[in-house]
């Protein structure tokens, strides 16, 4: 029997990243909290991530089910998103330079004005 992916809410995700946690591999985002931009703490999260050395300590979200994530302007350089399901995600203006998107599903994702240079697909 396959174990279900652990659920994580958007509020919890924001709180844990702000606390310094970086690995969320194998998680599933709660659909009712997928719009991070609408949650308290999102602007603080954006400011915080821009002060971090994400090359040394990248956000790791491999094999996640984060469909319909809404995180416009997310600063996520060097993120490890291999095998992530980001179908329908709103990542307008996100900074995903040097991200590993190997095998990621970006079907119907909005990547308008996102920075996607030097990433791995």
Cα distances (Å, whole numbers) of residue 117 to 75, 101, 111, 120:
13, 12, 13, 9
Spatial contact of 101 and 119, defined as CB atoms under 8 Å apart? yes
pLDDT score recorded for residue 120: 66
Give the CA-trace dihedral at 91, 11, 81, 96, to 10 degrees: 40
Tell me what the mean pLDDT of segment 93-110 comes to.
96
Average pLDDT, the chain: 95
pLDDT score recorded for residue 117: 85
> How far is it, in rounded angstroms, from Cα 79 to Cα 103?
14
pLDDT score recorded for residue 3: 64
Instruction: Check: pTM over 0.85? Answer yes or no.
Output: yes
Question: For residue range 28-78, what is the model confidence (pLDDT) as tens digits?
Answer: 999 999 999 999 999 999 999 999 999 999 999 999 999 999 999 999 999
pLDDT score recorded for residue 1: 45
Tally of CA atoms within 13 A in the half-sphere of 16 that contains its CB: 12
């Amino acid at each position: 029997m396959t174990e279900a992916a652990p659920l994580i809410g958007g509020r919890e995700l924001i709180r844990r990243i702000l606390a310094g946690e970086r690995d969320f591999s194998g998680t599933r985002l709660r659909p009712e909290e997928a719009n991070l931009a609408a949650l308290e703490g999102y602007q603080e999260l954006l400011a915080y991530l821009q002060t971090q050395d994400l090359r040394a300590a990248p956000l790791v979200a491999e094999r996640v089910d984060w469909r319909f994530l809404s995180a416009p302007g997310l600063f996520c350089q060097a993120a490890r998103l291999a095998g992530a399901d980001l179908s329908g995600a709103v990542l307008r203006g996100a900074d995903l330079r040097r991200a590993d998107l190997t095998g990621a599903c970006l079907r119907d994702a909005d990547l308008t004005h996102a920075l996607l240079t030097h990433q791995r697909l």
